[in-house]
Structure formats: C-alpha cells, structure tokens
C-alpha cells in the first residue's frame, strides 16, 4: 500500500511506549509474578513493554523466515501480547532472556497457540546473541521448569525442516523427533521435536 495513508502510519504505535503512573506500577507488580529463572549465565524474566523493541526487530526481519515471517510490526505486537497473556490464562508463557553482556538477548516461551494440540517450547534470539550458547542454555532452563515446576512429562518444539540451526539445537538438547505428532500435523515442512522428562 502506498500513498498518504501509508505514509501517515506511525512506525511505532502508542501501545509500545512505557507510560509512567499507577497503571505502570500495576503492570510491574503483575509482571513480578512471572517466575524468574537464573542459570549460569542468563536470567529468564517476565517481559516488560520495552522488551517489545527487540521482539519486533526479530519478528519483522528475515530472522523470522522460519516461523512464517517476516511479520508487520502490528502482527509482532499481537504475538507478543498473546504470549505474555498466556501467563494469566495458563500459568506459563513468554520469558525475556537477559544475558550478562546482552540484555534482552531474545525470548523463550512455553506457549500455547490457537491451533496447537499442546503447549510448545520455542525460542528466538536477536542477531547479536547468536553463537554464544545462549539458545541451548535458555531452552533447557525453560524445559526444566516445565518438568520440575509444572510437572509436565513432555513438551514439543515445532521447527521448520530446513532450519538447520534450530534442528541442531533440538538434537543437542536431547529432544527426539515425534513421528506420530508430525503425521497428525500433516506438514512435511515441519519437524516436531519432543522433549521428554526421562531424556532431559
């Protein structure tokens, strides 16, 4: 779409901005209820509105190509808000990954999409956080939370078949391809990796 209407559309929406005051303090108190997970090098914490900048940079770029992106900024916001809301609805959801040298290095989630048969363990990183072992450390921390705190027996990760880097990550984490889940989805371009408590 071109012309005056698209030119007038703001690059950043008002809902992205932090608005100091009582409502912001309420949001901080609610966010403080999200479990914080500390690992050797990372902290997984509840997302805050200012984390959306990094989330949008990932989802609106070619880094999102393996998850049906790139997306518009509005679509990225809707996905961010839905994954954060999962905490209120199901008691699990999106964490922001903070690394010592890279605050807001990415995001890891125990999410539950509309068309999913079960919750999913997923991870996305900023470009600057790649190649440091952050993905594996964060993925394993979220997975272990699902097993030890949520008492799940297993959780799946959906990975595009041609996403070599993510498929290698799943193998390193000890996950195994779930042929039955893949057949049920009927998508030859998607691998379903199952993380099972006995394999962790």
Domains in the chain, please, with CATH? 34-199 (3.40.630.30)
Q: Look at the pTM and tell me if it is higher than 0.75.
A: yes
Low-confidence ranges of the chain (pLDDT < 50): 1-10
pLDDT of 191 reads 97
Q: What are phi and psi of 14, to 5 degrees?
A: -55, -30
DSSP 169: H
Q: Which residues contact 1 (CB under 8 A, 6 or more apart)?
A: none
Which residues fall within 8 angstroms of residue 74, CB to CB, at 6 or more apart? 13
What is the per-residue pLDDT for 68?
Answer: 93
Residue-level pLDDT at 7: 42
- Quote the pLDDT of residue 200: 66
């Amino acid at each position: 779409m071109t012309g005056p209407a698209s030119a007038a559309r703001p690059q950043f929406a008002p809902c992205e901005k932090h608005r100091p005051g009582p409502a912001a303090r309420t949001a901080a108190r609610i966010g403080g209820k999200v479990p914080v997970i500390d690992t050797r090098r990372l902290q997984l914490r509840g997302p805050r509105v200012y984390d959306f900048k990094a989330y949008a940079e990932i989802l609106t770029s070619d880094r999102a190509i393996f998850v049906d992106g790139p997306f518009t900024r509005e679509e990225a916001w809707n996905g961010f808000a839905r994954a954060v809301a999962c905490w209120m609805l199901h008691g699990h959801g999106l964490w922001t990954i903070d690394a010592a040298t890279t605050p807001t290095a990415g995001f890891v989630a125990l999410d539950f999409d509309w068309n999913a048969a079960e919750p999913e363990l997923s991870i996305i990183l900023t470009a600057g956080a790649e190649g440091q072992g952050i993905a594996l450390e964060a993925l394993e921390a979220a997975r272990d939370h699902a097993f030890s705190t949520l008492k799940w027996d297993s959780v799946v990760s959906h990975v595009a078949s041609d996403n070599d880097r993510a498929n290698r990550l799943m193998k390193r984490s000890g996950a195994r391809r779930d042929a039955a889940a893949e057949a049920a989805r009927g998508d030859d371009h998607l691998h379903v990796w199952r993380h099972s408590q006995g394999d962790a």
